[in-house]
Copies of this chain bind each other. A is one copy, B any other.
Amino acid sequence: MEKIRQYRQAHAGQIVQELVDFVGVPNNVYVVEQIQRNSRALRAILERRSIRTELFPTATGKPLVYGELLTPGATATMLIYGHYDGVPAEPAKWHSDPYGPVLRTHLPVGPEADWSTISMPEDGSFDDDWRLFGRSVADSKNAIIAMMAALDALRAAGLQPGINLKFLFDGEEELESPCLPAVLQTYRERLSADVMISASGERHQSGRPTVEFGIRGILMFDLTVYTSTVALHSGHFGSFAPSAAFQLAHLLASMKALDGRVLIKGFYHEVAPLSESELRAIRQIPAVEEKVQRQFGIARAETEGRSLQELINLPTLNVRGIRSGFVGEEARNIIPHTATADFDVRLVRSMDPDRTLAAVAAHIEEQGWTVLDRAPSREELLAHGRVVRLRKRSGFPATRTPLDAPVAGRVVTALEQAVDEPLVVMPTEGGSLPMCLFEQVGLPFVGLPTSNFDCNQHTDDENLQLKYLFEAVDLFAALFRWEWYGPV
């Protein structure tokens, strides 16, 4: 590992420059030509390391980039999954060109903050705290550049990877990977491996190197309350025409208590208990609750008496948004006849999106509502009285590799070689990605996030603290180098 560190310190300028160049190729996931141009740039990056590459075509025209680096004599295979697309950037809201990365000494905070940039140091002596700003510097072109640098570092040290490496880089991850299921089926043999490393995301809020063995599933749905065929004048019909806004308020209040408990019958029934090793891992994760509360002005957590890590291992019921009538300058004196709430439910191991939605529907009916999958006609309103349209948007289950599985232990042991401080080992992360797709084709999931927690991913002024880029080189080198004694 000492040699790896020396290499990446000596070549820091080159590593940063390769990331700057890659970020310089705009990668708006909605623009096919941009994604195709990126796929060619990425292919060149892999081929510079003599990785055999191929583009897996998709129905949307945005290919997945595949790479293969077989090691003679290796008895195990690691598939690394990442992505090279980015969410759209609104340049007007950024303090620099999203596709012309710049360096700053820190992340400016507050309305009076100084957003001036600094030049790239000619002698390659970067400060670990400096940050690079640009779209996808943290989500997730950084991971790709770090793993390439790790290969370079191994080779410079005269070392070989200890395992076969397969790379799969998605060009539509930000659109929930619509073509990934077909690709995983079509290239099932080619993609076979003993473990899948998902290389994206943010480390634990403590900033410590992090590895995750699960990721939550999600159910997204919306519901709309209907009380009449049109909005009615609040002067002529107030207290007479039922208000969709108030009825929705009562319905939402019936679903979740103010102390955070979800009141829907059966909501928690399928939650599998944590194993001893998972409980032990959770207890070792640094507490960040107080820091988060201070930073975001949260006097009391919604759920008191449970740590954030415990909560992440439970399902959530979140209202993402509510719309009814008009407010502010647009307000007019009507009784809203519809009111919509949009939800996301984070699912943990063993829960099923459709069974959870059925529990929600049963709860609504228990409150006296008729549940439909469409807007009611006038006749249906007259017949049923209180009508809700309940509509599933999308969903997928959680993914989880047991901490007791041999592959989990091997990954932790490998990564521990690269770090001086204790790893944060998370039984699951709080977010959701359809990593179940990999699980379904027999690839156990491991998440290796390599960005700083405050990287502003998906929004303006996305940034990467350089320390995270450099440490990722060490982590990937340790993962690649570690010899896998037989298939897991």
Contacts and interface: CB of A to CB of B under 8 A. Distances in A.
Interface of A: 216, 218, 220, 222, 227-230, 232-243, 245-253, 256, 258, 260, 289, 292-303, 306, 308, 311-312, 314, 316, 318-328, 330-336, 339-342, 344, 346, 376, 378-379, 381-386, 393, 429-432
Given A240-B303, A297-B382, A299-B384, A246 B326 contact: no
A310 B62 CA distance: 64
A342 B316 contact: no
Nearest to A215: B235
Given A228-B298, A248-B322, A321-B325, 16 more contacts: A233-B430, A235-B346, A240-B301, A240-B308, A241-B296, A241-B298, A242-B301, A249-B252, A249-B319, A249-B322, A252-B253, A297-B376, A299-B381, A299-B385, A320-B333, A322-B323
Contacts of A228: 296-298
Nearest to A304: B240
Given A235-B431, A301-B240, A302-B240, A340 B327 contact: yes
Nearest to A289: B240
Contact of A298 (B218, B227, B236, B328): B227
Contact of A235 (B246, B339, B430): B430
A216 to B, nearest CB: 6
Given A234-B316, A322-B322, A243 B302 contact: yes
A267 B46 CA distance: 71
29 contacts: A220-B333, A227-B298, A230-B296, A232-B296, A234-B318, A235-B430, A235-B431, A236-B430, A237-B430, A238-B430, A240-B311, A241-B301, A243-B318, A246-B253, A248-B249, A252-B253, A293-B382, A294-B382, A296-B378, A297-B379, A297-B382, A320-B331, A320-B333, A321-B324, A321-B325, A321-B326, A321-B330, A322-B327, A323-B327
Nearest to A235: B431
A319 B334 CA distance: 8
A431 to B, nearest CB: 4
Contacts of A297: 228-229, 376, 378-379, 381-382
A125 to B, nearest CB: 34
A322 B245 contact: yes
Contacts of A327: 222, 320-323, 340-342
Contacts of A236: 312, 430-431
A245 B342 CA distance: 10
Given A248-B249, A331-B220, A336-B319, A238 B346 contact: yes
A380 B252 CA distance: 27
A342 B331 contact: yes
A260 B246 CA distance: 9
A267 to B, nearest CB: 12
B253 A258 contact: no
Given A321-B324, A325-B320, A298 B242 contact: yes
Nearest to A301: B240
A211 to B, nearest CB: 17
Nearest to A380: B297
A49 B185 CA distance: 86
A320 B295 CA distance: 34
B238 A247 contact: no
B311 A238 contact: yes
A266 to B, nearest CB: 18
Contact of A319 (B245, B293, B299, B384): B245
B318 A335 contact: yes
Contacts of A249: 248-253, 319, 322
Contacts of A334: 320
A195 to B, nearest CB: 23
A337 to B, nearest CB: 8
Given A249-B253, A430-B236, A322 B302 contact: no
A245 B386 CA distance: 22
Contacts of A289: 240
A318 B430 CA distance: 38
Contacts of A339: 322
A238 B331 contact: no
A249 B386 CA distance: 18
A302 B230 contact: no
Most buried by B among A237, A294, A331: A237
Contacts of A336: 319-322
